[in-house]
Chain A
Amino acid sequence: MGRLFWSIAIIVLLVPALVATEFKPWILLEPDNLKVSSRFLGDFFPPATQPEFLLLVAKEAWRTIAIATAGTFLALLLAIPMTLISTRVLSISSLSGRMHPLPFAVRQMIRWILIIIRSVPELIWALVFVRVVGLGPAAGVLAIGLTYAGMLGKVYTEILESGEQHVAGNLMRNGSSRLQTFFYGVLPQNLTELTSYTVYRWECAIRASAVLGFVGAGGLGQQLDNSMRMFNGGEVATILIVFMLLVGLADLLSAWLRKILQ
C-alpha cells in the first residue's frame, strides 16, 4: 500500500517538474538543431595540438589543480574545526542522557553556519570575490574554500555520526577528552571514508574551477571560455580531454589512498 502510494506520488511530482523545466529532448533531433550541433561537434576534431597551445593548456591545467587544491585546503581548515564542534559523537554531556542546552545551541549554530555558506553556489561567491580581490585565481580559491567548507563540514559530521560510536563513547566514559577521543576512537573508524570523500570533493573542485574560470577566476576554465568565444572547437576538445584526464587522475588518487589506508 505504502509502496503504491509513493510510486504514484513520485510520478505526480515528476510531471510538473518536467513541464517546469521545459524538458523536451526531441527538439535536439530537429533538423535545424542537428545541423548546428553537428557543426560545433565536428569542429572538435581534430583536437588542437600546436605546441604553444599545449604548453598554455599545461600551464593552465597546473593552475587549475592549484586552485582546486588550495580551495580544498582552505575548506578543510574551516570544515574540520566546525565538524569537531558540531558532531554529536564527541558530546560529553550526551553520554548520559540529553545534551546540555548550551552545547546543543552551539551545535545548532554551527550547523546553520554550514548551511548558509554552502547554500550560496561557488559561482556567486566567485562573482563576489572577483569584485573584492580582482580577476584571477585568488577569487576561485576563496569561492571554492567557502562553499566546500560548508559541504565538507556537513558530510564529515554525517559520516562521523553514522559510524560506529561504541569506541568513542567508551573512551569519553573512561575520562578521555573530546580531542583525544577524536584521534584515538573516531578517526581510525572513519578515516577511509573521510579521505575518499575529501578526494572526491577535490575532484569536484577541479570541475568547479572550470566554471569559475568563466567569470574570470583563472585556470583552464578561463582558457575554455576564450576558445569557446572564438568558436575554436579543436581547442575546446583539447581542454575537455585535459579535464577528463584530471578527473581520471583524481579517481586513481582516491583509489590508491583508500588502498593504503585500508
Chain B
Amino acid sequence: MLNQITTRNDFGIELSHVIAQHPAATVSARPAIQGISLAIKPGEHVAIIGPSGSGKTSCLLVIAAALKVKSGNVSLNHQSVWKLSTRRLQKLRGNLFYAPQTPPLPPRQRVITALLAAKLPRQSFFTSLMSLIYPRDIKEASEALGKFDLADKLWQRVDRLSGGERQRVGLARALLAPAKIWLIDEPLSALDPIRAGQAIESLIAHAEEHAVTLITSLHQVDVATSQFPRVIGLRDGRLVFDLPSSEVSKELLADLYKQHEHELDQNTPISQDSPPEPAPVKIIHCR
C-alpha cells in the first residue's frame, strides 16, 4: 500500500464535473462552481483569470481540498479527496499550500514566526514548539523574504507592515512550505507593478526549481498571458477556455470580460505606471 502511494506520488490534479458552493452562501444561491472539469499535470504553471465573481477563488479552494464539492469528483495524487478519512485528508493537505488573498498573519506575531508557520505540516509538535521559542531555519526564512525584497523585516511584527509588505510575506511563506502544489489567490492585488513583477518571477522561479505545481488566480491578464504557459478563463463558475497562453486572443479576452471591461483595461502591462490597487483593509481588533 505504502509502496503504491510513493510510486504514484506525483500530485496530479483532476476535477471532473465539479459543482461546489461556498458554505456561507444560502442554499438557494447559484453555486460558485458549476460543472468544471480539468486536469493539471504535476509541475504545470497555470493562471486562472476571469471577471470578479467568476469563481476563481472557489476554484482554488476546490483544488485545495478546502471547499467540499456538492457533486463531481476532485482527485489529487490519484486519490478522490472527499472519500478520504479526515486524518488522511489532513495528511494530504500537508502537500498543498493555499495562500488566500488576505494573508493570514496574526498581527502580533513576528514575521519570522509567521513565515515558519508554513513549515508546520512536516514538523513534529515538539519541534514546532521549540521553533516558537527559538526560531529554526532563520536562514531559509531570511532567504525567502529576500526574494521579495523584505529581508530586513524578518524580526518585525506583522502589524508594523504595510498591506503590500504583508502580501509579500504571505507569498514568501509559499517558498517555505513543504508543498507539491501551490494555490495562490490574487498574489498581486496589493502590489505596485514593479513589486508585482518581482513577486511573480520569484514564485515562478522557485516553483520551477522545486517542481511545484503553481496555480494562481490573477486579475492582471497581461501577467497571466506573459508569465504562464497555460491560462484558464472562468466566468459565472464555468470554464470558458483552457488554452496555452499563446492561443489566448484579444477576442477571447474581450468575450471573457464582457460587461466587465474596466477590469480588463485596468491591468495594462506591468512596466506601465498604473496606480497600485489599494491594500486590502485588515481589521486588527484591539484587545
Contact = CB atoms under 8 A, between A and B. Distances in A.
Interface of A: 92-93, 95-97, 100, 163-164, 166-167, 169-177, 179-181, 183-185, 188-193, 261-262
Interface in B99-124: 100, 102, 104-109, 113, 117-118, 120-121, 123
B66 A173 contact: yes
Given A96-B67, A97-B23, A184-B117, A174 B177 contact: yes
Interface in B256-287: 283, 285, 287
Interface stretch (B90-98, B194-202, B206-214, B240-248): B90-98
A188 B118 CA distance: 16
16 contacts: A92-B86, A96-B23, A96-B68, A163-B285, A167-B105, A171-B117, A173-B64, A176-B117, A176-B121, A181-B120, A183-B129, A184-B113, A184-B120, A184-B128, A188-B106, A193-B287
A188 B109 CA distance: 6
A183 B98 CA distance: 20
B132 interface: yes
Contacts of B95: 175
Main secondary structure, interface of A, reads: helix
A97 B68 contact: yes
A188 B120 CA distance: 16
B125 interface: yes
Contacts of B128: 180, 183-184
Given A92-B90, A190-B287, A175 B113 contact: no
* Residue with the greatest number of chain A CB neighbours at <10 A, chosen from B67, B95, B108: B108
B179 interface: yes
A36 B109 CA distance: 59
A172 to B, nearest CB: 8
A181 B117 CA distance: 9
Chain B interface bracket (under 10, 10 to 19, 20 to 34, 35 or more): 35 or more
B182 to A, nearest CB: 10
* Residue with the greatest number of chain B CB neighbours at <10 A, chosen from A166, A169, A176: A176
B106 A189 contact: yes
Given A92-B90, A100-B86, A190-B287, A177 B120 contact: yes
Contacts of B287: 190, 192-193
B188 to A, nearest CB: 19
A167 B106 contact: yes
A253 to B, nearest CB: 18
A152 to B, nearest CB: 17
B120 to A, nearest CB: 4
A184 B100 CA distance: 17
Contacts of B121: 174-176
Contact of B104 (A93, A170, A180, A193): A170
The 10 closest A-B pairs by CB, nearest first: A175-B94, A175-B121, A170-B104, A188-B106, A176-B120, A175-B93, A96-B68, A167-B104, A184-B117, A193-B287
* Residue with the greatest number of chain B CB neighbours at <10 A, chosen from A93, A100, A164, A179: A164
A198 to B, nearest CB: 14
A181 to B, nearest CB: 8
B157 to A, nearest CB: 10
A175 B117 contact: no
A177 B108 CA distance: 21
A180 B93 contact: no
A189 B132 CA distance: 15
A171 B120 contact: yes
Contacts of B285: 163-164
Contacts of A184: 109, 113, 117, 120, 128, 132
B88 to A, nearest CB: 11
Given A97-B68, A174-B97, A191-B108, A180 B123 contact: yes
B185 to A, nearest CB: 11
B86 A173 contact: no
A166 B102 contact: yes
* Residue with the greatest number of chain A CB neighbours at <10 A, chosen from B106, B118, B125: B106
A190 B100 CA distance: 21
* Residue with the greatest number of chain B CB neighbours at <10 A, chosen from A95, A166, A173, A177: A173
Contacts of A170: 98, 100, 104
A176 B118 CA distance: 8
Nearest to B110: A188
B106 A174 contact: no
